[in-house]
Structure formats: structure tokens, C-alpha cells
Structure 1
Amino acid sequence: MADANDRSRHWEWQYLDLMRRIWEEGDERVDRTGVGTRSLFGETIRFNLADGAMPLLTTKRVYWKTATRELLWFLTGDTNIRALCAQGVEIWTDWPLDRYRRETGEPIERAAFSRRIVEDAEFAERWGDLGPVYGKQWVDWPTYQPVGEGLYKQGPGVNQIAELVESLQHNPGSRRHIIEGWNVAELDAMALPPCHKTYQFHVANGRLSGMLFQRSCDLGLGFAFNMWSLALLTRMLAQQCNLEPGEVVWTGADVHLYLNHAALVEEQLSRIPAGEGRLTFNRRPASIFDYRIEDMTVSGYAPQEHIAAPVAV
């Protein structure tokens, strides 16, 4: 155990203390996946982005490039896993794979399924789409226009990201700097309803802060990506809007650990956080939609070993 001074110095103690409380005090329940969880409701973690600091967990390795590729994919509005699989990013593959196995009865391995998604465009179109998940809502929220006699046609989509940048640049004091993913009318069409559902941004003293409300959080696996993506999006927006990075605030509603993650929890709680990764942008892209993985360099990140754990689908 670290002393009080250690805890005050490293942000990650917020995460480890929450993990311990969930595992020891959380309400045990049967969840959607059938695996079972222990959970607490309404938790918050904060991180200061000053001097390029980024909220990368150090008690296990976080694959920040994978998380970054996912965020950049969201910003394209794409909802098919083909572009992700082509980059070796498999974090969304299990949902289409599960559907394929269930509907065809073919016990295909994930690697073979991903390879076919990449190599066969028709197969990818049929089996690789996730429905109107995050990116679709972020950059192409559907609208409908009346055409008479009670009928409607689809109108132009709302690009929430573009409108957010415009709002931050021209009306920084607004309380409406929001990205929303929870489109009630389309939830049933999504492979997974949005977990990191609502982002809000705040400008004060030339600094941009970001807050995420997450309805459901797998603390053992998902949180590390969610926290990184919140910070990265805030940093990207700050650069585009000529602001300094401020603070990121993550708030989780149902924050849980899966019962089959006991080995992960015990191992991670035995480790002491140390060090801090820092992010540098190698250029300033023309717009928020033009960032590439090559634009980002992380330095000073020296995590402890990766801890493997199963994903509940």
C-alpha cells in the first residue's frame, strides 16, 4: 500500500480505490451478458491535462493507439468494422461475430471472420455493420422533414462535432457544448447502445475542459479506453479552437467489474502506479476530422505488464 502522499501525487489512485470498493462493496447482480457483475452507482474521476499529461493507467498497459484509432473512426461516421479490422483493431468484432455465428451456425474463428471482413466487401456489408452506433450519431444524427399528409422524408443529418467546434470558437461561454449519442429512436438498431453517451465541454480562462457521462462502465477493461478518448478528444478540440487543455471529468452511472475478472482485479490492486504519459501533436490538422494516428506521439509512458481478461459480449 502507498502512503497518503503517494495517493495525492498520482491520479490513478482514484481508479484503484474505486476498483477496490466495487470488488469489496459492490452490489452483485446478474447482468445482460449472463456473466454477473459487482457494481456501484454514480462515481467520478478527474484528471488535469496541463503540460501534455494524459490519463493513461500505469498499473497495466493501455493500448492507446488502438483507442485512438477507434476515436478517429467514430469521427468518420463509419459504422462498419471493416476499417477497424484493416488496422488490426478488434474491439468491436465480437458483436458482429456473435451475430454471424448465431444466424449461420458456422463456428468461425474471430481471426478468420476479421480477415473475411477485410477481404470481402460484400461480406463486410452484410455482416460487419454495427447499426447507427457512436459515429453515426456524432456526425450524422438523423432528421426528418414533413412532406404532407402525415408523411416524412429523411432530412440532412446533424453533424454534432462540427457544430460543437463552431460553438466553442464563436460562443465559448455557452452551456450547450454537448455531444449526445443516446438516440432513443435508434437504440434497438445498434449492436450495443452507447455506453459513453454524453460529452459536455466548458471554456474558462482560455482552457477547455471536458466531461463524460457514461451510463455503463466496465471498469476492468473499458474505462482505460474511455478515459483516454475523453482526454484525447478534449485535446483535439482545444487545439482546433486555440484553447489550452484544462481538466477532464469522467462520471460513471453503473460502474462495474465482471465476476470473471477476479484475477485482473487482484493483480492490478497489487500494483503501485508510477510515472505519466504525455501527448504531443506533431501538427495541427486543418479540421477536427483530419487527425491521423501519425499526428500523435506519446512519451514517458512506462506501464507495468498487460493484464488479460475476457470480454463479456
Structure 2
Amino acid sequence: MVEYLNLLKTVLNKNQYKNDRTNTGVLSEFGPQMEFDLQAGFPLLTTKKVHFKSVVHELIWFISGNTNIKYLVDNDVKIWNEWPYEKYKQSQCYKNESLKEFIDKIKKSESFAKKHGDLGPVYGKQWRNFNGVDQLTNLINEIKSNPNSRRLVISAWNPSEIKNMLLPPCHVLMQFYVSRENELSCKLYQRSADIFLGVPFNIASYALLTHLIAHVCNLKPKKFIHTIGDAHIYQNHLEAVKIQLSRTPKSLPTLKLNKQIKNVFDFKYEDIVLENYESWPLIKGKVAV
């Protein structure tokens, strides 16, 4: 994962300070790109521990078309909790509950979760129902029937529904490519990237998606290319980034998928196994909402 560490170094060294929507302040760089060879190992960061369980459950949630955090909460995935909580705090139902109390209510009450746990038409909705189009199903069918197509694209950026999303999509467009050697590659364009907290998840998530699609299309995963618009390090992550950069990367883990799965919509957490993952300890950072 030297590519990722080099991105951190580039943004730190250029030291381009900007204000931002969250009023936290960032160091920002525009237009960097990373490339990962998926045949050299699964690109899960080793200079700090990344919660792979959360990566898997979030991707399954996206693939299903779900936009309510209850599935994530029920599986102890916390990465989306803050956004519906902030919305809840603005509602007349808010009774000074803490974030933990809010999440406990999501877990225990279907009706509460239905009313207060939805994020609006975010990723899963756009992947599976972009103005009535199931992009993910169409993509897989096209890869199988017309692998030379230059239209193997999924977009999460739907201008007509942005206003209804609690967080507009950061990773907005992906394109797939099938080589003559029957290898599948993915290129992601991400408009906005929290390099310390978000990008390690983004890399792992889209690498995993490439593996899953390759698996059901009888292809080999080849490359994941990650192009970023605004790549930024929040001011309150700078010390954590310096700790991470002091660490030497370890060998990459490998991914093992259940060979019996033939449909991408049938994958469950148990069907996706990460082997030989060794990392440095977790480094915590506060999410900017």
C-alpha cells in the first residue's frame, strides 16, 4: 500500500490549506490517482488496522439497494451513524439522546429505524434504481454478453435526488474494463476523499466489488484504479497521519470467495473471507460531519 502512503505524503508536503464545509479545515490536493494490482494481494491497509467486517457489510448493503442504517447497526457497523443522528437532532422527536442512545433505538425498534434511520437515496438506491434503472444488474449482464463494451459504467451522482440525500455521493462513478485475457479492472472517480478515514475503506470496498463481479462473470480481477478530485487530510487527523507514515507496510492479505455463489446478490458476509491479514494497530480519528 505504498501508493496510499505516497498520497498522504504528497498532500502533507504541498501543505495547501483550505476551509471546508465542516469548518474543521483541511490540507487539500486536486486530481491524484492511485493504481492497485489486485493479483498482488488484496489492497487492505496494513499501516493501521482496517475493520474489514465493516467494508464487507457496507458493500453488501450497497448491492442490496438498502439505504437505511438498520442493517449496518444490526451488524455492528458504525460508519454511517452520525448523519441520521444529526438529522434526528433537528427533529421534534429528539429528546437529548446521545448518539449511543439513538443507535440503541435504531437496533431495537423497526418503526423508529424506518422513521429516523434512512439516509435518503444514497449509493444503494442509485446503483439499483437510478430513475428506474437497475444499473448493477445491467452492468453484470453487459459484462457477460458484451465484455468489449465501453459503457460498463455505474453512476451514483443523480442531480435530481441530491437534495434528498443526507450526504451526496463522494465516490460518484465507476467504470469496468475486460481485457483480452479475461481480466476485470475497475476505475473509480471520487469527487471528495477524506484520505485518513475514508479512503482506506473506499479502496477496499471497490477492490472487493471488482472481485465479486469478476467472480460471478467468470473473470479474473486485475486492477483497481482510484482517481480522486478533492483529496484532503483534515486538520484534526494530522498527528494520526504522521504516526501512520512512521510505520512500515506489511504484506497484503488475500481474498477467498465462496465458489458456490453465482449471483452477486447472493453474497453474504460468511461467503467473503480475508486470509493472512496482519496490520499495525488501529489509529482512531474523528469523522467530520
Q: Residue 86 of structure 1 corresponds to which residue in structure 2?
A: 74
Alignment correspondent of 2:50? 62
- Indicate the residue corresponding to 2:171 in structure 1: 196
Which residue among 246, 254, 264 is the counterpart of 2:222?
A: 246
> What residue in structure 2 maps to residue 287 of structure 1?
263
Match in the other structure for 2:104: 115
Check the 8 A contact 1:57/1:224 in 2, yes or no.
Answer: yes
What is the identity, as a one-letter code, of the residue corresponding to 1:84? L
**CA distance in structure 2 between the partners assigned to 1:103 and 1:28 by the alignment:** 35
Decide which of 238, 242, 247 is 1:266's aligned counterpart: 242
CA positional deviation for 1:135: 0.2
Is 1:161 matched with 2:158? no
Indicate whether 1:73 and 2:73 are aligned.
no
Residues 1:25 and 2:14 aligned together: yes
Alpha-carbon shift at residue 33 of structure 1 (Å): 0.7
- Structure 1 letter corresponding to 2:16: D
Greater gyration radius: 1
Structure 1 letter corresponding to 2:129: D
Give the AA of the match of 2:72. Answer: L
Contact 1:61 1:304 in 2 (8 A): yes
How far residue 26 of structure 1 moved from its aligned partner, in angstroms, is 3.6
C-alpha separation between the residues in 1 aligned to 2:220 and 2:275? 19
Question: 1:44 touches 1:250 (CA, 8 Å); kept in 2?
Answer: yes
Q: Distance in 1 between matches of 2:6 and 2:137?
A: 37
The equivalent residue for 2:24 is 35
Q: Match of 1:62, as an amino acid?
A: V
- Cα deviation 1:63-105 (Å, max 9, x = unaligned): 1110110010011111111111111111111001111123345
- The separation in 2 between residues aligned to 1:26 and 1:177, in whole angstroms, is 37
What secondary structure, in the 3-state scheme, does the structure 2 residue paired with 1:289 have?
helix
**Aligned counterparts of 2:168 and 2:15: Cα–Cα separation in 1:** 23
* Farther off after superposition, 172-181 or 277-286: 277-286
Q: In structure 1, what residue type is equivalent to 2:3?
A: Q
Cα separation, 2, equivalents of 1:294 and 1:33: 37
Cα distance, 1:246 vs. partner? 0.8
Contact 1:240 1:284 in 2 (8 A): no
Q: Distance in 1 between matches of 2:121 and 2:188?
A: 20
Query: In the alignment, which of 3, 10, 13 is matched to residue 14 of structure 1?
Result: 3
Please state if 1:130 is matched with 2:130.
Answer: no
Give the equivalent residue in structure 1 for 2:193: 217
Question: Are positions 1:186 and 2:186 aligned together?
Answer: no
CA distance in 1, matches of 2:6, 2:259: 37
1:111 partner SS: helix
Distance of 2:71 and 2:11 partners within structure 1: 36
Q: Which moved more, 1:190-199 or 1:278-287?
A: 278-287
Asked if structure 2 preserves the Cα contact closer than 8 Å seen for 1:138 and 1:181, the reply is yes
Q: TM-score, normalised by structure 1?
A: 0.89
- Contact kept, 8 Å, 1:227 with 1:250, in 2: the verdict is yes
How many angstroms does 1:199 deviate by?
0.6
Runs (5+) with no aligned partner, structure 1: 1-11, 143-156
Identity of aligned residues (%): 40
Deviations 1:136-164 (A, max 9, x none): 0000112xxxxxxxxxxxxxx21101000
TM-score (norm 2): 0.97
Q: Which runs of 4+ in 1 moved over 3 A?
A: none
* Partners of 1:43 and 1:252 within 8 A in 2: yes
Trace 1:296-311 onto structure 2 (pairs within 5 A): 296-311=272-287
Q: Give the partner amino acid of 1:80.
A: N
| Number of residue pairs the alignment of both structures matches | 287
Instruction: Give the Cα–Cα distance (whole angstroms) in 2 for the partners of residues 214 and 221 of structure 1.
Output: 14
Distance 1:108 1:50 in 2: 47
Tell me, in whole angstroms, the C-alpha distance in 2 between the residues paired with 1:56 and 1:286.
25
Structure 2 residue runs without a partner (length 5+): none
Which AA in structure 2 matches 1:90? K
